[in-house]
Structure 1
Amino acid sequence: MSGITYVRGDATAPSVKGVKVIAHVCNDIGGWGRGFVLAVSRRWPEPEAAYRAWHRDRAENDFALGALQLVRVEPYVWVANMVGQRGIRTGSKGVPVRYEAIDTALGRLADRVIALDASVHLPRIGCGLAGGKWSRVEPLIEERLVARGIEVMVYDHGEGPS
């Protein structure tokens, strides 16, 4: 596989065969309710419930920027909650996206995806409500996933690149 495959459609409904991991970026404050997570929650309740419990019990677990949580939602489908944004609002410290956290989470994701022999499906992570630039995120995906031989599909759901 060379590079990322870009497709129009819904990242929560990948149509390829085999094990699939749907990856997305979450914030570090326990908020779930806007953006891509709404599409995830419409299909499966488990990723939101797991994320909220993970955040709630963060004193006893690894919940932090750069962390990864894999949640199985169907026999061949997993959702990857990746903590890659600080808060939810743009303010004095800039936009919420944290590229280094996304990079760390993608590295962790690669190990898990290889073990599952899965493909990765995602929207343009970090580039919606998190305020990131695809020109900064795409190379992280190329380096952490594609360079390790992982098939990656990026879904555009009606909007163009940012």
Structure 2
Amino acid sequence: MKTINYLKGDATNPQTKGNKIIIHICNDIGGWGKGFVMAISKRWKNPETEYRKWFQSGENFNLGEIQIVQVEEDIWICNMIGQHKTISNSKGIAPIRYEAVEKCLNKLIDEALQLNASVHMPRIGCGLAGGKWEEIEPIIERTLLKNNVEVYVYDFE
């Protein structure tokens, strides 16, 4: 089975040849404006525009759904709804929804294989969403890696 390739650098600037899908986690309330999305918006306007349109349309805008937006000839952004709201609830439960992240990644497999693309990401779900990498990593292993999708995780320096 493939393993995750850990790299130092910026996930919005993938360091490989060929087609690339950059993935990140979005919330289910249409909010875009903090965290990794800011780095995406700095480089490309389209992912935010499409996410907001998707939210307004209400069509399939649910936890576990994905939206893929092409931003360059060989780069796509995947908006994954894997976070419920934006702050921990009164019981201290973080916004991350691991089941939703797993659903998103399962949907991404076909897209990645069709495009023959590698998948690039920061440590998704571990910033504002409040998730733990020890929970996310096994999800990546049993979805993308198990299906032979090449995965790169970037630690920003």
Same fold by TM (over 0.5)? yes
Matches of 2:155 and 2:90, distance apart in 1:
30
**Cα distance in 1 for residues equivalent to 2:132 and 2:43:** 27
Alignment of 1:121-140 (within 5 A): 121-140=120-139
Task: Give runs of ≥4 in structure 1 deviating > 4 Å.
Answer: none
Q: What one-letter code is carried by the residue in structure 1 that aligns with 2:77?
A: V
2:60 is paired with a residue whose SS is: coil
- Decide which of 66, 70, 88 is 1:68's aligned counterpart: 66
Residues 21-36 of structure 1 correspond to what in structure 2 (within 5 A)? 21-36=21-36
Question: Which amino acid in structure 2 is aligned with residue 57 of structure 1?
Answer: S
Deviations 1:75-109 (A, max 9, x none): 10000000000000012251000000000000001
Match of 2:4 in 1: 4
Task: Give the distance between the partners of 1:8 and 1:31, measured in 2 at CA.
Answer: 28
Give structure 1 stretches of 5+ with no counterpart.
none
- Partners of 2:90 and 2:57 in 1: how far apart? 29
Secondary structure at 2:82's aligned position in 1?
strand
Cα RMSD (Å): 0.8
Deviation at 1:157, TM superposition (A): 0.5
The C-alpha deviation readout for 1:14-55, integer Å capped at 9, x for no partner, is 121000000000000000000000000000000000000000
CA distance in structure 2 between the aligned counterparts of 1:15 and 1:6, rounded to whole angstroms: 11
Question: SS of 1:26's equivalent?
Answer: strand
Match of 2:55 in 1: 55
- Alignment length (residue pairs): 156
